[in-house]
């Protein structure tokens, strides 16, 4: 997988969301921050900039995204940030090491949310904070409804019949 920032600037598209997210996270100068599902690291870098005497660790499964995150951190001269390729659901984080856990759309993909949040909870210090940015349900999400793209019709098991799968409409069986 190659990260092509020339095709779509995801971070720019989410600028307003990111501003609110940063304000909610309220990273302190001494905080040690864990960023779950960091992608190319925008939230991790923002946290590291705010945690001038602390640090930020970004975690993601996608190696190419992490490579881009490292590149951008290096280019921007951010030295109190590290990136780790790991599954936040199962990775053995050092216990009670983080003051804050953030995630910008990363926790939505957990296959075992209870296990994942239990694992992350072990990595947090007492009174640590958890700040998540997640989408609302599809019908209430402006971003998703503005880009409605119907799925192509799929052949049914019965000869010659198709049905449409659209993320915005209930599917109907063809008769």
What pLDDT, on the 0 to 100 scale, is given for residue 164? 43
What pLDDT, on the 0 to 100 scale, is given for residue 116? 94
Residue with tokens 């599902």: 37
> Considering only the top CATH level, what class is 10-133?
alpha beta
The pTM assigned to this predicted structure is 0.73
What average pLDDT does this structure show over 94-113? 92
Judged against a pLDDT cut of 80, whether residue 76 lies above it is answered with yes
The CA-CA-CA angle for residues 120, 67, 69, to 5°, reads: 65
Q: Tokens in use for 49? A: 């900039």
For 116-169, how does the pLDDT look when each residue is reduced to its tens digit (9 = 90+)? 999 999 999 999 999 998 877 767 766 566 666 555 566 555 555 444 444 444
| Every domain of the chain and the residues it spans | 10-133
For 11-52, how does the pLDDT look when each residue is reduced to its tens digit (9 = 90+)? 666 667 778 888 889 999 999 999 999 999 999 999 999 999
* Residue 41 zone, left/alpha/beta (φ > 0; ψ -120 to 50; rest): left
């Amino acid at each position: 997988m190659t990260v092509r920032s020339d095709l779509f600037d995801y971070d720019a598209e989410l600028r307003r969301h990111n501003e609110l997210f940063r304000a909610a996270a309220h990273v302190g100068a001494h905080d040690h921050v864990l960023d779950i599902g960091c992608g190319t690291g925008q939230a991790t870098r923002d946290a590291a900039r705010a945690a001038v005497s602390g640090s930020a660790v970004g975690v993601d499964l996608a190696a190419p995204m992490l490579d881009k995150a490292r590149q951008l951190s290096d280019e921007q001269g951010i030295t109190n940030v590290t990136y780790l390729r790991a599954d936040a659901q199962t990775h053995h984080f050092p216990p009670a090491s983080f003051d804050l856990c953030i995630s910008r759309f990363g926790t939505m993909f957990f296959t075992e949310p209870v296990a994942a949040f239990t694992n992350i909870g072990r990595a947090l210090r007492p009174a640590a904070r958890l700040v998540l940015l997640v989408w609302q349900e599809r019908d209430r999400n402006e971003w998703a409804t503005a880009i409605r793209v119907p799925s192509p019709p799929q052949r049914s098991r019965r000869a010659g019949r198709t049905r449409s799968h659209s993320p915005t409409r209930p599917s109907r069986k063809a008769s």
